[in-house]
Chain A
């Protein structure tokens, strides 16, 4: 079992819909979780992080964390074609040093 798993997609949603991206992790000791967005040909960019169970909202983005079930999700409301990208879930390695374990990423396509 991979340490961080994501559905590779592509996840196709119409413009204006809610896109739901999911990530599961294996280490129960994980304390914080990061979502990176990577446009084609660009570098990963941090867009959200969450430390506590529940929801965290930032504009059109909501991160949801359920530690008991070991999953974290990213919701994008009112999806726009500019949201089309690969979304990487990352979980810190419990040994520290800012080392992150990345999922393979989910490719999101928002069509007009």
Chain B
């Protein structure tokens, strides 16, 4: 069963530390999405890529967040410096990129991030 793989599953760190989250999309998928989910805000789209190129990162706080795809099998989301308000679950999702939105996204298990 093809799956989106995210690491780490859990991360606890102190304010000010750098946090890196990784995502391996489903093989053959060429669109990758990063979401943040909190009880208050629900599911928020942070950034997304197509064929490794960033299409939109307007959902991310630019001063501390960055997202990249070094290659087709790895997407990263970094927070530097981290703040307590960044505590949330971060999901990566990938899609096949075919057609005009007729294909769904598939989600990874998420990274549960706690900033103390």
A45: chain B residues within 8 A (beta carbon): 107
B42: chain A residues within 8 A (beta carbon): 102, 104-105
Contact yes or no, A43 B110, CB < 8 A: yes
Asked if A51 meets B102 with Cβ closer than 8 Å, knowing A42-B109, A43-B110, the reply is: yes
Which bucket holds chain B's interface residue count? 20 to 34
> For the complex, would chain A's binding face be called helix, strand, loop or mixed by DSSP majority?
loop
Which bucket holds chain A's interface residue count? 20 to 34
Interface presence of B2 (CB below 8 A): no
16 intermolecular pairs with C-beta atoms under 8 Å apart: A32-B101, A43-B91, A88-B43, A92-B102, A93-B101, A94-B101, A95-B101, A96-B100, A97-B97, A98-B96, A98-B97, A98-B103, A98-B105, A99-B31, A102-B43, A105-B42
B interface residue numbers (CB < 8 A to A): 31, 33, 42-43, 45, 48, 50, 55-56, 91, 95-97, 99-110
| Beyond known contacts A43-B91, A96-B99, A100-B101: 16 more, CB 8 A cutoff | A31-B100, A32-B101, A43-B107, A44-B91, A46-B104, A88-B43, A93-B101, A96-B100, A96-B101, A97-B97, A97-B101, A98-B95, A98-B103, A99-B56, A100-B104, A104-B42
